[in-house]
Structure 1
Amino acid sequence: MRRSVLAVGAHIGDMDLAAGAVLAQLVLEGANVTLVALTPGERGHPRLSPAEYKRQKVAEGEAFATAIGADFMVLGHSEGFLPDTDEAALELATIIREKQPDTVITHWKHSRLRDHVHAARLTERARYLADLPMDHELPRHAVRTFLYAENAEDMESFEPSAYVPVPDEAFYRWVSAIRHQAFARGETDGFRYIDYYTALMTMRGCLAGYPRACAFVDPKGPEVSKLAGP
């Protein structure tokens, strides 16, 4: 059976940056990967209206997923207003039941952005609800591995317990895909996201003994460091 991985971000681009290189490697290894954005992240452009930027962000998210060989979904919530409710968690739990992922990746639960905090809580709650017996047309599903990704905006108390190597082919596939997202190039707020995450992968690789690596928090400990790579 092919491995299945679900990466859940608050906005389009969050998981593309924080875990995209690892997701690219998982695809290369034959896994089914799905990127889920809970909101488009449509309010972050200094010149475009939210409606205009939403269209651009959705197109960019679809293009990124296609470039690394993943599926892509964006839910109907709005940036800045992502609810932390059972209804939203049930929506995500249905996706977990449908996709049957072995691994779920999301935001670290401490962040300066409320949407990121809510995304972590919703994903945790959805994981529980997906395995809860209930009157549902889809079968229940237990997620085996749950990981929190390293995000520039979620660094409070983030202490990695797992390092996943990023081989060259996956890294360059990620670079080629992510450079087509305007915000990642620094065109919305001036932050050089691609440079930051490239340097972060190099630094984490130094600590883990690889040329490049991504860091995660795994509540179960460090045994999942072989999630991807050699």
Structure 2
Amino acid sequence: MKTYLAIGAHIGDMDLTAGPLLATAALAGHRTAIVALTPGERGHPRMSPEDYKAQKIEEGRTFAEKIGAEFRVLDYSDGFLEATQEVSLQVADIIRELKPDVIIAHWKNSIHSDHANASIIAERARYYAGLPMDHPLPRHGVGRFVYAENWEDEEGFQPSLYVPIPDEAFERWRDAISGQAFARGETYGFRYIDYYTALMTMRGCLAGVPRACAFAVPSSSTRDVVDLL
């Protein structure tokens, strides 16, 4: 059994981009987890950050339960996430605890500063988790680190890893993501579910399967198709 850990800037980021992979892995008997560095509480034009924060946390928890993932959210501020040593060490503690074989993170270039900083945080956390330190948990080296495909993080993103998404995992993901208001288009009107469903279909065409999620791998120029099942 492997452990897959997705680290996102806000609740919903990894649900959309890595959620199908996590659902696939969970169905195959692997352990999966989502960590959101902020709730994403400033993402609703008509709700107060306090009210939307409570709603987002409940939506994120329900999503994770439906796809078979563990869920954690840190209490940093949406829109003001900084790539500090403090938050990187906090995430490193989670990595030491969960011992993931695979980490999924944001691509480093984004129109959203929280996403760009979350990418830096995840990479630093991976590094810190592997260092010998005076720490109650043993160090842990992560075998594979990949970047998810997010429409806000497209600059320079070059996918090289394609993961087929079987029908059962896709349906589980679609049912789960439909429980999030922003994904349904109820905040700013963007049709997230349609977009990522179409994206999986397009990536599936390139991978020779009905649906796939694409990921960028550091220092990779080849196209690999990995079937988690």
Instruction: Output the TM-score relative to the length of structure 2.
Output: 0.97
1:61-72 alignment, distance < 5 Å? 61-72=60-71
More divergent stretch after superposition (7-16 vs 220-229): 220-229
Is the 2:97–2:137 Cα contact (8 Å) retained in structure 1?
yes
3-state SS in 1 of match to 2:163: strand
1:105-144 alignment, distance < 5 Å? 105-144=104-143
- Find the counterpart in structure 2 of residue 81 from structure 1: 80
Q: What amino acid maps onto 2:140 in structure 1?
A: H
- Find the counterpart in structure 1 of residue 178 from structure 2: 179
Moved over 2 A (4+): 220-225
User: Are 1:50 and 2:49 an aligned pair?
Assistant: yes
Q: What amino acid maps onto 2:86 in structure 1?
A: E
Is the 2:7–2:106 Cα contact (8 Å) retained in structure 1?
yes
User: Are 1:161 and 2:160 an aligned pair?
Assistant: yes
Q: Shift in Å at residue 225 of structure 1?
A: 3.2
Q: What amino acid maps onto 2:94 in structure 1?
A: I
Q: Distance in 2 between matches of 1:116 and 1:227?
A: 27
1:2-21 alignment, distance < 5 Å? 2-21=1-20
Q: What amino acid maps onto 2:216 in structure 1?
A: V
Is the 2:159–2:223 Cα contact (8 Å) retained in structure 1?
no
User: Are 1:98 and 2:101 an aligned pair?
Assistant: no
- Find the counterpart in structure 2 of residue 204 from structure 1: 203
3-state SS in 2 of match to 1:153: helix
Q: Shift in Å at residue 223 of structure 1?
A: 7.4
Q: Shift in Å at residue 119 of structure 1?
A: 0.3
Q: Shift in Å at residue 224 of structure 1?
A: 5.9
3-state SS in 1 of match to 2:193: helix
- Find the counterpart in structure 1 of residue 228 from structure 2: 228
3-state SS in 2 of match to 1:207: helix
Q: What amino acid maps onto 1:185 in structure 2?
A: R
Q: What amino acid maps onto 1:117 in structure 2?
A: A
Q: Distance in 2 between matches of 1:14 and 1:57?
A: 12
Q: Shift in Å at residue 227 of structure 1?
A: 5.5
Is the 2:207–2:225 Cα contact (8 Å) retained in structure 1?
no
Q: Distance in 2 between matches of 1:119 and 1:220?
A: 20
Residue deviations 1:11-67 (CA, integer Å, cap 9, x gap): 000000001111100000111101000000000111110000000000000000000
CA pair 92-106 structure 1, distance change in 2 beyond 3 A? same
Q: Distance in 2 between matches of 1:223 and 1:156?
A: 19
Q: Distance in 2 between matches of 1:185 and 1:123?
A: 28
Q: Distance in 1 between matches of 2:172 and 2:225?
A: 21
- Find the counterpart in structure 1 of residue 147 from structure 2: 148
Q: Distance in 2 between matches of 1:223 and 1:94?
A: 32
- Find the counterpart in structure 2 of residue 26 from structure 1: 25
Q: Distance in 2 between matches of 1:122 and 1:224?
A: 26
Query: What do you get for the CA RMSD once the two structures are aligned?
Result: 1.0
Gaps of 5+ in 1: none
Q: Distance in 2 between matches of 1:126 and 1:210?
A: 34
Q: What amino acid maps onto 1:225 in structure 2?
A: V
Is the 2:160–2:214 Cα contact (8 Å) retained in structure 1?
yes
Task: Count residues with an aligned counterpart.
Answer: 228
